[in-house]
Structure 1
Amino acid sequence: MKKYILIIAVLFAFVSCEEETIVYDSENGQTLANFSVSSILVPTPTEGASTTVDVFVSTKTDSERTISVEVDPSSTATADQYTLSGLTIPAGAFGATLTISSNFDALPEEGRANLVLNLVDVSGSNDLVIKDSPLNLEFYRECPITAGDWVINMTDSYGDGWQTDSATGGSGLTITLGDGTVFEVGLCSPYGSAAGTFLGDGECTPNNGSEGTATITIPEGTESAEWFFPGDQYGEIGFEIISPNGNVAGGYESADAGALTIDYCK
């Protein structure tokens, strides 16, 4: 009989432990706070741009709370290049949406301005714990595509034309417009066939194996253009891209293959 009593006692203790639950107090408990994302790119057209990021907190109160942020010393963005708003958590809410706006005129003509924000405080919150994850924003100018003739000046330091994604020639630099039009240009190679509209009409001469110029025409109303370079087998290839305004808008020399960033502001 004692053995049965012992088994029942153990089972009762086990069931009691199983039913024990912990209830988090969302009003008086510890407050955790963090940004919803860690990094954002902000392309900025002439009229300016805005982006949003949520700030989450794990508790709520019956009154408004203020979110405090500080600019990290590693930031390169200046105060005239951006504005912040939305730093108030409404009563009864578990967070707020922070809005960051960028100013085209104040941004650098080339490169990017970097803004790093640290979450510092949430007023009226109990035992606040902030997740150590700053918000990193990169602002840069975004201009509409300039219609007209784009010139690509191409070189090969060895003088035997381009070998891109193949040791015997390969694909060329491709420009794909939003309407599906594709241009492909490059220096001819004497070692094999090369795709696209290459200089030399399939025959290489001493001159067009070392350097050459191609021109493509981007029509009015083009909303997008993707520039892609397939690669450089031997580290010999170079080119510069000249906009219809006569400015160097992009280029490449012995770098990794991939999408090219074109500065349409030029």
Structure 2
Amino acid sequence: MTALGFLHPGHSAEDDYPRIEQLLGSDIRLAVVHTDMDEDPHHVDALLDMGSARRLTAGVEELRLSGAEAVVWASASGSFVYGVQGAHEQVRGLAMAAGLPASSTSFAFAHAAREIGADRVAIGAACPEDVAALFARFLTETGTEVAAVRGSGAVTPAELAGWDYDRVLALARESDRPDADAILLPDTALHTASHLTALEKDLAKPVLTAAQVTVWEALRLTDRRVNAPDLGTLFTREPIVQA
């Protein structure tokens, strides 16, 4: 049994994790602990507070008691908003507090893009343009070229969690570019676990989403590989990178 721990901001779309646990079809258990967040997390100051050590360390002890072997801060915007160096420091602090290997959703996207050989990506984010641009800068600084980035306004997590497949597909299509090797949907409040194969079929290219890459990153930290075709290209390819 491999137990993986996730610190999840708020209570939007967290049911993707038990869904992914089922789709993995293996001896893997996903433990989710919720962190506090403000009602409107789309402003930079609110995102910095959401990802602060004060917020994250509050849930660490519960994850340790769950038997987790690795912990991932399950937020893209709550990590990339710090920049690459600040996000590294955030992860180091989390690892020290938990006594476990640690990472975040932002680094998960960077690692996952390399894993599938996506040198150029398109980003579709349900956040203001200035926040989406910070994610594009983060990816660029970690070695992934961004072909296009689209923000779709300050949609609240509760609203985003209610989006159906057609709205998720529309966001992905609107952000796609012919020269993009993959499409990235970075919002952790977006339900995507049940849509990955359909998205990749409709878009004819790999799609990386927040919960998907976050779970993959936790598996990577524990040196586990799972073939799970229902979770998209990321979970079906032979590894390209190990680091």
Give the alignment's TM-score, normalised by structure 1: 0.19
Q: Which has the higher contact order (CA 8 A, sep 6+)?
A: 2
Larger Rg: 1
Whose strand fraction is larger, Structure 1's or Structure 2's? 1
Whose helix fraction is larger, Structure 1's or Structure 2's? 2
Give the alignment's TM-score, normalised by structure 2: 0.20
